[in-house]
């Protein structure tokens, strides 16, 4: 069963200084029970998409249906079946863990006993029960995020939207959070729609991934097939020869080999895409020997999602991290000065 159906969804922000096309007509579907990941650099349109699906932003064009409910015409029906955990830490610091859960339960019109029972369940599951009587301002970053996620689950949503849920958290906490999310998904048969900028997470967690850049979906498939789509393994070479002519002759020769799909160069490194790279390396060496080429270093790797990302967006994912982290730190700083 399809739980999310998106067709030609677009959002343009109009301003006197020029219009920004945040999302340019994307279409995709998400099946029940899937973990569906959205990957993309800052400003790619990830958050705008999530906000349209969670009824927080009205689309300029196109339609989006959540469990058959239209996000524009039936927003309240949509809101009842979805949970939303935004990338900001949106727990109320002046309230205790219990009070935060209580208020959230009230927002979803749950009866008092149900709120109490589910809060207890979730607070225990997310290891917050012992601290539930303390104010959230005394919690660590990881605890706050866990509380945030617990709040997003109190009404047992059919679909959970997680916008960068592990942003700025340490490795241990990140792992914990994913463990809980997996557990909860198994218990409730929930569908999860997430954005993350940690490649390994997307790779190991998501059933399918959409790569979004400049408001468009560049690729959408399972992580396995996305990696396969690159065409094979990656061999990276560094050559110490001065003469570019010699090098290009050598590369021409390598290119004629049947298993080699593609060769690219970046900053003096040459990347050869090939299937069966293990067997290709000795061949490369013998060609190098014949053509008087000195290979100063060689590495081989199976493609990661990073490589897929780079191939589809032309950007190295790591470039984006710095600014995101900084933004997060800034946000924390402001939060503390409140």
Segment 89 to 108, residues that bind other proteins, using CB under 8 A? 89-90, 92, 94-95, 99, 103-104, 106-108
Q: Quote the CA–CA distance of 330 and 338 in Å, as a whole number.
A: 13
* Closer to other proteins by Cβ: residue 62 or 231: 62
**Binding window for other proteins (CB under 8 A); candidates: 19-27, 30-38, 82-90, 187-195:** 82-90
Sheet holding 208-213, edge to edge: 82-85, 159-163, 191-195, 35-39, 208-213, 216-221
* Closer to other proteins by Cβ: residue 20 or 56: 56
Per-residue contact string for residues 17-56; x = within reach of other proteins by CB under 8 A: ----------------------------------x--xxx
* Closer to other proteins by Cβ: residue 54 or 119: 54
**Binding window for other proteins (CB under 8 A); candidates: 19-27, 72-80, 196-204, 301-309:** 72-80
Nearest 10 degrees: Cα torsion 160, 166, 171, 172 = -50
* Closer to other proteins by Cβ: residue 87 or 166: 87
Q: Quote the CA–CA distance of 103 and 101 in Å, as a whole number.
A: 6
By CB under 8 A, residue 186 contacts other proteins: no
Check: CB of residue 254 under 8 Å from CB of residue 272: yes
Per-residue contact string for residues 142-161; x = within reach of other proteins by CB under 8 A: ---------x----------
Sheet holding 61-66, edge to edge: 20-31, 2-13, 61-66, 69-70
Q: Radius of gyration over alpha carbons of the chain, in Å?
A: 24
Q: Which of 80, 158, 253, 324 binds other proteins (CB under 8 A)?
A: 80
Q: b/e map of 220-236 (b: 16 or more CB within 10 Å)?
A: beebeebbeebebbbbe
For other proteins, the binding residues (CB under 8 A) are 51, 54-56, 58, 76, 79-80, 82, 84, 86-90, 92, 94-95, 99, 103-104, 106-109, 151, 335, 338
């Amino acid at each position: 069963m399809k739980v999310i159906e998106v067709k030609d969804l677009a959002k343009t922000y109009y301003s006197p200084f020029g219009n920004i096309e945040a999302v340019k007509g994307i279409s995709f579907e998400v099946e029940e029970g899937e973990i569906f990941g959205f990957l993309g650099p800052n400003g790619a349109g990830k958050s705008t998409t999530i906000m349209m699906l969670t009824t927080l932003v009205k689309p300029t064009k196109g339609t989006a249906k959540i469990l058959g409910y239209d996000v524009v015409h039936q927003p309240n029906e949509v809101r009842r079946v979805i949970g939303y955990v935004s990338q900001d830490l949106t727990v109320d610091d002046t309230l205790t863990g219990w009070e935060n859960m209580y208020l959230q339960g009230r927002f979803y019109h749950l009866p008092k006993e149900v709120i109490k029972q589910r809060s207890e369940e979730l607070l225990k599951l997310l290891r917050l029960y012992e601290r539930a009587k303390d104010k959230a301002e005394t919690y660590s970053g990881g605890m706050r995020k866990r509380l945030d996620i617990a709040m997003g689950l109190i009404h047992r949503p059919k679909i959970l939207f997680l916008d960068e849920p592990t942003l700025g958290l340490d490795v241990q906490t990140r792992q914990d959070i994913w463990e809980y999310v997996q557990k909860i998904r198994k218990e409730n048969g929930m569908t999860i729609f997430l954005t993350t900028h940690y490649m390994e997470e997307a790779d190991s967690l998501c059933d399918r991934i959409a790569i979004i850049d400049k408001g468009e979906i560049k690729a959408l498939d399972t992580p396995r097939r996305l990696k396969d789509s690159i065409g094979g393994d990656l061999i990276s070479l560094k050559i110490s020869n001065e003469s570019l002519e010699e090098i290009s002759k050598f590369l021409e020769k390598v290119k004629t080999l049947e298993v080699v799909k593609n060769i690219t160069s970046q900053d003096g490194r040459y990347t050869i895409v090939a299937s069966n790279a293990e067997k290709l390396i000795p061949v490369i060496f013998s060609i190098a020997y014949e053509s008087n080429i000195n290979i100063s270093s060689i590495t081989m790797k199976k493609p990661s999602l990073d490589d897929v990302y780079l191939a589809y967006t032309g950007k190295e994912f790591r470039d984006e991290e710095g600014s995101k982290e900084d933004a997060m730190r800034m946000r924390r700083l402001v939060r503390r000065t409140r």
